Structure 1
């Protein structure tokens, strides 16, 4: 299956330039999945609703997964001021299901789908910047870099290390500065017709639904463009426990994606599992061969260097958490990866993706 882009066959094949025409506000649909985001949702919406006159005609839909902290009340209060703001229930609770729900229910007369997250900090005009870039580049999906920022001590160190190769493995969308075509990234915008043709997100995925979608989009000849000029900020996890839980789930999601599509993982994706295996084996055989402890010792030394670098970079003792944060990311991701691989190996799961008709570029 190949995908076609909305109302044109792409800017590169359209001499009249209709694929690159200016995006109007009425073309844009914005999906914002939430679950207990009372402390963030008002700021998020105010940021998204400002910065461009065209936003008055865009439709913003908050899909709530059953919040019990007053999030829906905050959104309803803002709906009294913003006529283009909607609130819908997301019974499935997951973000993947929320975006699908919004895309399918509100797709009429809309051509661009923007995905936003309540935890992120958006610059004015982010929505229209993404929509304009998507259409200007004639692609099916636009991704943007994320710049981590921190407020608490642990969070500052976490934000520092996650945007480095030691933290994120060198992902282009983690603080990257170069625009270009990529295989995956932080989802910002889609050609709405293409999103629906590919089937939207797999709603059985609680994590890594973005990379799994990108895998299907590429298989359908869809193109993904990273626009490094459009950036957002986000707050990473502020505690070691929350960070471990997050990366454990990331690892599980990545394993599901690889096994679902029978893909071979990239070398950098297998570094954390390899480190975990080597460390465990080294500890297990150390009573028989003490020199085996050299491997985990070298890894701990690397984390120590990261801590020292973090403290110097931040000019604060808070930077010493950079090493532990990196280690938590590696070990939790690897543990989740192995756990999910073992589960799916014993009991293959089922995916819920809407069937898409074959269409051609």
Structure 2
């Protein structure tokens, strides 16, 4: 469990792990970053109360570093990633272990069940469970059980983590997708199990949501540079929308029909909001178009502006191969 500034939710999240309806032994390793609240004290208090809980330090504050530190401090052959604000259903681990055994998968995971409290959060939850907001990713929108590119959180065989070398600490975001890609590239199976639903609290305002999706887009571009051929049309839709809107606005003074491009986007968002937000209360529904636009345009802008300096340095043997191919 990687945590940073999770004072509010940490105790409840840990208790939901310890209270799992699972017949085998459970240990919880909390990897604590340099928090600005009382996360460290809360984690240490929980560990003092229950010997199954261990606290390790993550001085970098980065998620992949925290995960690797926690895995290294654990001892069991199955590793479940849990977030400090994720609320697990009571049968989560039992379902995961049964699915690992039945499918032979290296990693299983389920649905990121976004649940909002405020009208804005409810709008975000709606957007995060619709294809208009997040495409056809099953861990957002649901679907049949089966092989998947990636899943939410994940319950892994330790042998699979050892095989691929754990989380790549270069990736500040998208580290789950990147590691699942390496698991699949080395012959492993990633399996989506819709019975594994984890409650997720969305970002509470536009600024936080925009920052989240900007970094998603930025680091997904880094992954695509590292692993060629991993970008499809779903990932290209947001940057295409950003380019179309910008070009349309720039060209309009010189060619008035160009305004139809951003107008068409706005019309599509409004129509999509009316279609997908029918179950929302009016206060949440009126916020839904803003939420969709924030998610699309922030992700697309992050993808388009992702700097080359974030790219993972190539290993010496890869550089040598490229020099052989292209003549230095």
TM-score by length of 1: 0.83
- Aligned residue in 2 for 1:294: 260
* Map 1:141-290 → 2, pairs under 5 A: 141-290=107-256
> Which of the numbers 62, 69, 78 marks the counterpart of 2:37?
69
Q: Is the 8 A contact 2:126 2:277 kept in 1?
A: no
Residues 12-60 of structure 1 show CA distances to partners (whole Å, capped at 9, x for unaligned) of xxxxxxxxxxxxxxxxxxxx000010011011111111132536x2111
Gap runs ≥5 in structure 1: 1-31, 353-361
> Which of the numbers 72, 76, 80 marks the counterpart of 1:114?
80
Corresponding position: 1:315 with 2:281: yes
* Map 1:50-129 → 2, pairs under 5 A: 50-52=19-21, 54=23, 57-107=25-75, 110-129=76-95
Q: Is the 8 A contact 1:307 1:324 kept in 2?
A: no
State the SS of the aligned residue for 1:312: coil
State the SS of the aligned residue for 1:145: strand
- Aligned residue in 2 for 1:350: 313
Q: Is the 8 A contact 1:157 1:310 kept in 2?
A: no
> Which of the numbers 131, 134, 143 marks the counterpart of 2:100?
134
Residues 247-272 of structure 1 show CA distances to partners (whole Å, capped at 9, x for unaligned) of 00000111010001122510111000
Q: Which has the higher contact order (CA 8 A, sep 6+)?
A: 1
Q: Is the 8 A contact 1:119 1:235 kept in 2?
A: yes
State the SS of the aligned residue for 1:37: coil
**Cα RMSD, aligned residues only:** 1.7
Count of matched residue positions in the alignment of Structure 1 and Structure 2 = 315
State the SS of the aligned residue for 1:83: coil
TM-score by length of 2: 0.91
How far residue 321 of structure 1 moved from its aligned partner, in angstroms, is 1.0
How far residue 348 of structure 1 moved from its aligned partner, in angstroms, is 4.3
Moved over 3 A (4+): 306-312, 346-349
Residues 40-95 of structure 1 show CA distances to partners (whole Å, capped at 9, x for unaligned) of 1011111111132536x211100001123111211222223321001110122111
Gap runs ≥5 in structure 2: 316-328
Tell me how far apart the structure 2 counterparts of residues 349 and 137 of structure 1 sit (CA, whole Å).
Answer: 33
